[in-house]
Structure 1
Amino acid sequence: MTYILGVSAFYHDSAACLLKDGAIIAASQEERFTRKKHDASFPKKAIDFCLKEAGISIDDVSLITFYEKPFVKFERIIDSIKNTVPFGFLFFKKAIQSWVKVKLWIPSIIRKELNYKGKMIFSEHHEAHAAGAFFTSPYKESAIVTVDGVGEKACITIGYGKDNHVKILKEQHYPHSFGLLYSAFTQYCGFKINSGEYKLMGLAPYGKPIYKKQILENLVSISKKGEVSLDMKYFSFDVGKTTINNHFCSVFGRPARKAEEKMSDFYCDIASSIQSVTEDFMTILLEYAKEITKSENVCLSGGVALNCKANGELLKRNIFKNIWVQPASGDSGGSMGSAFVGYYNYLKKERKQIEDSLKEQIYLGSSFSDFEIEKVLKKYNIVYDKKCDLDLLEVISEELKNKKIVGCFQGRAEFGPRALGNRSILGSPLYVDMKEHINMKIKMREGFRPFAPVVLEEKKENWFEMEDSSKYMLFTFKGKNKNKIPSCIHEDNTARVQSLQKKDNEFLHNLISIFEKKTNCPILINTSFNVRGEPIVNSPFDALNCFFRTHMDVLVLQNYVLFKENNKKPHKQFLKKIDFELD
């Protein structure tokens, strides 16, 4: 048996993924265990989990792969500093400390932390993204497009995958990065970069793209081949200060919004404008990828591939016959991609198709037995009931019908940024004020943030303008009945839909089916089980912590159900204040 351990670390969203003969055994982000969102540290806990899940030790691992080449990245940073002398000195001082202490010694750190004596290789960052997208796709051959902030040097790549091999055909280098352009607008609108980009996307429908012309005339030009050219006069990320500067702000005549400042129409229009530029850019890039690969299929990866609004537009524009977006397109997914690079590009193994299902692609994290769950409940004197599946579904559906908010903790945790039913907060979409209620009382986040609907696969076309499945919540679609489900249709009448087949999550499918019988609605609101600034819950203890610190009404831990009203005096452990860094 061939076990390959893929690792991503030391930038953000550190993670580990374990393959056994090309099949994904386990994958998880380090943040789920450390409870530090976007944790960049070496993913020792995630690695330990993966090995335990497979029932092996580190000695059984044939190959460890790391998701980028540190020395190539260091070379790019040194070149960038030389090009910005003397303005880059402070950046150099900060960067060199990090590299000298940690990043130049990654091979030694991996061997020491894991006591590993076997073979180790390093993939390129965009190669890992490309492999993660293609080898999880249902296609035998495909164009591959990757767009993110920056890897070693590449920011945008076009590749091609066939059978068991992935090859990068075209690439564009730092600093001309569309991902960093989008992050600049993230900062300008008052959100945290490498964390708040999805907020910028959620804000866009509240505005109009009236600043699109200013963006294209001043900040960026885009060629017919999707080549990006930034005017670096307006940016500061290359000298290590903030992403933007006063010149950037002068283009729009307003300063950057301060974090937590009340949102104005101006910043809504800014968000709408850069979102429109993003959709046009991705269209041009995919058109060129189609031209040079001649494929009918395309796989998308990198952080920009998580822009589900742009993905929804790409679907409508029919550039490719088929589009696949890797569910874990960010840096955490680099651990999976680098493992595939090791298995296919390095070991030359025969291609094994991975099933297009939540169980194979997403449900790859931690799980807990009934014994482990009950042990935690008893330890903290929780009042609970244990119910058989049918009784449990009946109780939960009735609570949802009556406007209760339910935390749902089932089976294996999801890998990547989306909660797709196993670590989710569920609510009824039928109430006009449900969106505001969950945002303010449960998630503790901005009121403009949208919620995603999970709909029965067989009923999706009655409620949304969609023909294909959308299992991973990575595309937006127009709603058909906004007046009936007002809490999960966004300002522009779109929704980030998850369509659910019974084979992918029988528990959630049955729950929605019973809810439909009670309400004539085959849809629930599905949002990740966490509060703002906190990673998605991983363990029963995490779930209890989140439950008692919010206005959630019901918590379901597999077949165990507990009600807030029956647990009015929670254990002191759940009364301790936890400050999560706001994103």
Structure 2
Amino acid sequence: MNILGISAHFHDSSAALCQDGVIVAAIAEDRLTHVKHDASFPLFAIDFCLEQGGVEPSELDAVVFYEEPHVKFGRVLTLLLANFPRSAMHFARAMGPWLTTHLWMKTIIANRLGVDPGIVSFVPHHVSHASQAFLSSGFEEAAVLTLDGVGEWTTMSIGRGSLNEAEGVELLETSEYPNSLGLAFAAVTGFLGFKPNDQECSTMALAAFGEPKYLERFREVMTVADGKLRLDRDAFNFMGDHSSALSPAFAKDLGLIPRALDAPYGFDIFADCVDAGCATDRAYANVAASLQARTNEIVLELSQHAQAVTGADRLCVAGGVAYNSVSIAHLIRYGPFREVYVPPDPGDAGGAVGAALIQAHRAGAIANKGAMQHPYLGAGSQIVNLGAVLDKLDLNEVPPPPVEPPGDYRVEASWQHLPDEADLIEQTAEELASGKIVGWVQGRSEFGPRALGNRSILADPSDVDLARRISRHIKLRQPHRPFALSIAEEDAAYVLDLPDGIPQPARWMQMVVPVLPDARERVRGALHVDGTTRPQVCGKSDNGLFHALLSGFRQKTGLSALLNTSLNLTGLPLCASAPEALVMFWSCDIDTLVINDWILRKGTA
């Protein structure tokens, strides 16, 4: 049975293909169009998934869209009319796409794929989230918690998942717009000078520099009672732009005004004195810390209610709020569940996976537990005749990186084919141990925002200068944002203060973990100011080749840990293909690039 799931027209468009109950391909549209957070109809992603599965559109048994457009339009129209004439500009912008495209998704999908409209169906937004979380978890039964900005009307759901039930997932309780934890977090993100629905990770990073001095005020405006989330409508304005998302009254309570978009902060996690920000910077950091603390509390309270309602000892979490690795860590440490699972991409792109999986379950196609065994579901790293391509490369045509080094700049490079895996690991580990920044491209790209050893920028985590160089010269991002850490499973207990066992979210960079004091200097480049890191604990069964590289680095340095950040430049999505990685290599300050069994070394003169 071939089932195609589609997500489109809000955050990250995507497609996923489920064959006989197993996800065989899933990719966000932006990985193929190079437009970050591309929300357009995912034609390229659909073509990729069908090609990967060896399926023609005529062979599809079902196509499932991840939400119900007509219900969502009812919310959009109701809110625009209720806030008219203040919403006049929003009304003008919204009606065009809705009346020309969004309301006609069944017809558009059928026409673009050339399939019978009868096989096209729709799944409520939070059912898609819940289905992805549960049906990919490998659990037979579990409680399910979804939290995001807003679907059709729903912003939060508590449900029950069971492989023994025909529906698979049942939503038991919900919260409705405007009572939204995701929208509240986005509103404060905009207030702090970051881009909402994109840079919430910067808010999380900033929080570690502050203290939750406004926590009581956030508790007053963000409450939970009987499993329902409530926001004080006098504190938030979701119809405004980032500068007015918090009400003037709430901003006055905080004693601050909205910060200019992209205004830099004075904090630097790589400096000897990390708390170097001015008093104003610290005040905004205190707001971030208070929001993060309240978010932790709310996620925990809702999970406790989910356990009471379902009686389950396992929990699956999805929706955009599940990207919050601090809250996921808090839930795992203090929550009532024996196991917690978060899918590789819990946001809207993952909705395509959920839509496909729930249809497969209803059709009786999911026979085995765990329909999504790993996150490596995207584009492959194959490139035809790489050696010949490199031999024809004119290095005189290679431009300098965006942050141009001082003096004359000229690229010199060499490349080597290493078909023996042991040689490849040995030489790559030597590059890393000698202080080189390495781009690592292997196999199929990751589904979701985390670089998990197939599309990564890697470096020795003990070298703070390397981390600073990556931040300033490659990623071009504010220095208050930390990097993640990849570590072999065998060494995890020597570095990380993990809960009992290794939680699944610790394998996919979905939770923060304290670093043991004696190990902090060994991983200083991937350490946040609060002494935590966001780890990928990698075993042989998770990613065999990357585990071998980590083990090879241990032979050189004594520790199988690497600083790991996604292989992309600022403002662009993660590189999906080998040609993209080559372009990035020549246009930034990466020293070495490993693509499959080729190693490229760059030098300057």
Q: Per the alignment, in what secondary structure is the counterpart of residue 238 of structure 1? A: coil
Contact 1:234 1:248 in 2 (8 A): yes
Deviates more, 1:431-440 or 1:324-333: 431-440
Contact 1:148 1:156 in 2 (8 A): yes
Asked if residue 174 in structure 1 is aligned to residue 177 in structure 2, the reply is: yes
Which residue does the alignment assign to 2:530? 492
Which residue does the alignment assign to 2:508? 472
Asked if residue 117 in structure 1 is aligned to residue 153 in structure 2, the reply is: no
What are structure 1's unaligned runs of at least 5 residues?
Answer: 569-583
Which residue does the alignment assign to 1:82? 81
Deviates more, 1:154-163 or 1:208-217: 208-217
Q: Per the alignment, in what secondary structure is the counterpart of residue 431 of structure 2? A: helix
Q: TM-score, normalised by structure 2?
A: 0.90
Asked if residue 246 in structure 1 is aligned to residue 248 in structure 2, the reply is: yes
Change (3 A) 1:51 1:254: same
Which residue does the alignment assign to 1:402? 434
User: CA offset at residue 203 of structure 1?
Assistant: 1.5
Within-5 A mapping of 1:564-575:
564-565=602-603
Contact 1:224 1:284 in 2 (8 A): no
String of CA shifts for 1:357-400, please: whole Å, max 9, x gaps.
xxx33000111335354454345357421112222212111111
Q: Percent of counterpart pairs with the same letter?
A: 35
**RMSD of equivalent CA atoms:** 1.7
Change (3 A) 1:375 1:104: farther
Contact 2:21 2:371 in 1 (8 A): no
Q: Equivalent of 1:353, from 357, 366, 369?
A: 369
String of CA shifts for 1:202-226, please: whole Å, max 9, x gaps.
2211111111122223xx2313334
Change (3 A) 1:535 1:372: farther
String of CA shifts for 1:177-222, please: whole Å, max 9, x gaps.
11000001110111111111111112211111111122223xx231
User: CA offset at residue 240 of structure 1?
Assistant: 6.9
Change (3 A) 1:378 1:75: farther
Contact 1:207 1:268 in 2 (8 A): yes
Instruction: Write the distance in 1 (CA, Å) between the matches of 2:461 and 2:492.
Output: 15
User: CA offset at residue 172 of structure 1?
Assistant: 0.7
Which residue does the alignment assign to 1:43? 42
Q: Per the alignment, in what secondary structure is the counterpart of residue 181 of structure 1? A: helix
Q: Equivalent of 2:360, from 343, 349, 365?
A: 343
Instruction: Write the distance in 2 (CA, Å) between the matches of 1:372 and 1:146.
Output: 46
Asked if residue 331 in structure 1 is aligned to residue 364 in structure 2, the reply is: no
Deviates more, 1:545-554 or 1:134-143: 545-554
User: CA offset at residue 117 of structure 1?
Assistant: 2.1
Change (3 A) 1:362 1:350: closer
Which residue does the alignment assign to 2:99? 100
- For 1:412, give the aligned amino acid: R
Which residue does the alignment assign to 2:270? none
- For 1:283, give the aligned amino acid: L
Instruction: Write the distance in 2 (CA, Å) between the matches of 1:456 and 1:398.
Output: 17
Asked if residue 139 in structure 1 is aligned to residue 139 in structure 2, the reply is: yes
- For 2:368, give the aligned amino acid: K
Q: TM-score, normalised by structure 1?
A: 0.93
- For 1:45, give the aligned amino acid: F
Instruction: Write the distance in 1 (CA, Å) between the matches of 2:120 and 2:386.
Output: 38
Residue correspondences, number:
560
Which residue does the alignment assign to 1:69? 68
Change (3 A) 1:104 1:378: farther
Which residue does the alignment assign to 2:550? 512
Q: Equivalent of 2:417, from 368, 386, 392?
A: 386
Q: Per the alignment, in what secondary structure is the counterpart of residue 384 of structure 1? A: strand
String of CA shifts for 1:495-540, please: whole Å, max 9, x gaps.
1111001122222111111111111111001110011111000112
Q: Per the alignment, in what secondary structure is the counterpart of residue 159 of structure 2? A: strand
Instruction: Write the distance in 2 (CA, Å) between the matches of 1:100 and 1:48.
Output: 26
User: CA offset at residue 5 of structure 1?
Assistant: 0.2
Which residue does the alignment assign to 2:406? none
Which residue does the alignment assign to 1:273? 290
Q: Per the alignment, in what secondary structure is the counterpart of residue 483 of structure 1? A: helix
Contact 2:382 2:578 in 1 (8 A): no
Instruction: Write the distance in 1 (CA, Å) between the matches of 2:227 and 2:325.
Output: 19
Instruction: Write the distance in 1 (CA, Å) between the matches of 2:39 and 2:160.
Output: 30
Deviates more, 1:230-239 or 1:34-43: 230-239
Q: Per the alignment, in what secondary structure is the counterpart of residue 344 of structure 2? A: coil
Asked if residue 377 in structure 1 is aligned to residue 390 in structure 2, the reply is: yes
Change (3 A) 1:226 1:374: farther
Change (3 A) 1:246 1:545: farther
Which residue does the alignment assign to 2:399? none
Which residue does the alignment assign to 2:204? 201
Q: Per the alignment, in what secondary structure is the counterpart of residue 150 of structure 1? A: coil
Change (3 A) 1:340 1:512: same
String of CA shifts for 1:43-91, please: whole Å, max 9, x gaps.
0001101111111211111100000000000001122223323322222
Asked if residue 368 in structure 1 is aligned to residue 381 in structure 2, the reply is: yes
Instruction: Write the distance in 2 (CA, Å) between the matches of 1:267 and 1:376.
Output: 50
User: CA offset at residue 7 of structure 1?
Assistant: 0.2
Instruction: Write the distance in 1 (CA, Å) between the matches of 2:431 and 2:415.
Output: 15
Asked if residue 222 in structure 1 is aligned to residue 239 in structure 2, the reply is: no
Asked if residue 233 in structure 1 is aligned to residue 239 in structure 2, the reply is: no
Instruction: Write the distance in 2 (CA, Å) between the matches of 1:42 and 1:373.
Output: 32
Deviates more, 1:124-133 or 1:89-98: 89-98
String of CA shifts for 1:214-254, please: whole Å, max 9, x gaps.
2223xx23133342222223333236785334334222121
Deviates more, 1:194-203 or 1:427-436: 427-436
Deviates more, 1:31-40 or 1:194-203: 194-203
Instruction: Write the distance in 2 (CA, Å) between the matches of 1:229 and 1:376.
Output: 58
Contact 1:553 1:563 in 2 (8 A): yes
- For 1:73, give the aligned amino acid: K
- For 1:440, give the aligned amino acid: R
Instruction: Write the distance in 2 (CA, Å) between the matches of 1:561 and 1:293.
Output: 52
User: CA offset at residue 314 of structure 1?
Assistant: 1.0
Instruction: Write the distance in 1 (CA, Å) between the matches of 2:312 and 2:389.
Output: 52
Which residue does the alignment assign to 1:183? 186
Contact 2:3 2:62 in 1 (8 A): yes
Change (3 A) 1:11 1:534: same
Which residue does the alignment assign to 1:303? 320
Deviates more, 1:417-426 or 1:108-117: 108-117
Q: Per the alignment, in what secondary structure is the counterpart of residue 453 of structure 1? A: strand
Q: Equivalent of 2:457, from 421, 425, 437?
A: 425
